[in-house]
Copies of this chain bind each other. A is one copy, B any other.
Amino acid sequence: MTLVQKITTGWTQEESLVQAIAPNKVLNIGVIGYGYWGPKLVRNFQELANTRVTMVADLDGKRLEELHKAHPTVEVTNDYHQLLASDVDAVVIATPVTTHHPIARECLLHGKHVLIEKPFAHSSVAAQELVDIAEQRGLIAMVGHTFEYNPAVELLKDIVASGELGNVFYAYTSRTNLGIFQKDVNVMWDLAPHDISILLYVLGKDVLNVSAVGGAFVQPGVHDVARLTVNFADRIQAHIHVSWLDPCKVRRVTIVGDKKMVVYDDVEMLEKIKIYDKGVQWPERTESYGEFHLSYRYGNITIPRVGLNEPLKVECAHFADCISQGLRPRSDGAVGVRVVKVLESADISLHDSGRPVPVVL
Q: Interface digits, A68-82 against B, CB 8 Å rule (1 contact, 0 not)?
A: 011111000000000
Count of A residues near B, CB < 8 Å?
63
If A47-B70, A170-B245, A353-B356 are given as contacts, then 16 extra A-B residue pairs at C-beta distance below 8 Å, sorted by A number, are A46-B71, A47-B69, A52-B72, A169-B215, A169-B217, A227-B229, A245-B261, A246-B261, A247-B256, A247-B261, A248-B263, A267-B269, A300-B303, A302-B303, A354-B354, A354-B356
B305 close to A302 (CB less than 8 A): no
Interface residues of A (CB under 8 A from B): 43, 46-49, 52, 66, 69-73, 169-170, 178, 181, 183, 211, 213, 215, 217-219, 225, 227, 229, 237, 239, 241, 245-249, 254, 256, 258, 261-263, 267, 269-271, 274, 276, 278, 280, 291, 294, 296, 298-305, 353-356
A271 close to B301 (CB less than 8 A): yes
Copy count, this protein chain: 4
Chain B hits for A254, CB < 8 A: 246-248
How far does the Cβ of A344 sit from chain B's closest Cβ, in whole Å? 19
Q: Summarize A's interface: helix, strand, loop or mixed.
A: strand
Complex Cα spacing A70 to B72, Å: 11
Chain B hits for A261, CB < 8 A: 245-247
Checking B69, B178, B239, B262 against A46 with a beta-carbon cut-off of 8 angstroms, the contacting residue is B69
Chain B hits for A301, CB < 8 A: 271, 302-303
